[in-house]
Amino acid sequence: MEIGLSHYLVLSTILFAIGLVGVMKRKNLLLLFFSTEILLNSVNIAFAAISHYYGDLTGQMFAFFVIAIAASEVAVGLGLLIVWHKRHNNIDLDTMSSMKG
């Protein structure tokens, strides 16, 4: 059985869906960050797969930059998280509602 591009894309989609579930479901901010990592990684798989099956390096380049962005996001996000935690002593999403319109 030959593994084609579609397999990878389906896998990527499944992982993305899991990430979405996590993003929507989790109330712990830290775990929310984890879920976003899943989202980013699932897309990375798709990039790499497409890059492979079309023999084009652009996909890999994109995946590469996605990783860079993910890393910076973690750095800044964690910093903010720590500040928030210091101030409020929790990282529960439901307690944050200062943006209520």
Q: Which of residues 28-57 bind another protein (CB under 8 A)?
A: 28, 30-35, 37-38, 41, 44-45, 48-52, 54-57
Binding residue count for another protein, defined by CB under 8 A: 84
Alpha-carbon span 73 to 25, nearest angstrom: 20
Question: Using the rule CB under 8 A, is 64 a contact of another protein?
Answer: yes
**Rounded to the nearest whole angstrom, what is the least distance from the CB of residue 21 to another protein in the complex?**
5
Question: Using the rule CB under 8 A, is 9 a contact of another protein?
Answer: yes
Given a contact cutoff of 8 angstroms between Cβ atoms, the answer to whether 80 and 47 are in contact is: no
- Picking from 67, 51, 71, the residue whose alpha carbon sits closest to that of residue 59 is 51
**Rounded to the nearest whole angstrom, what is the least distance from the CB of residue 40 to another protein in the complex?**
10
- What 3-state class would DSSP assign to 28? strand
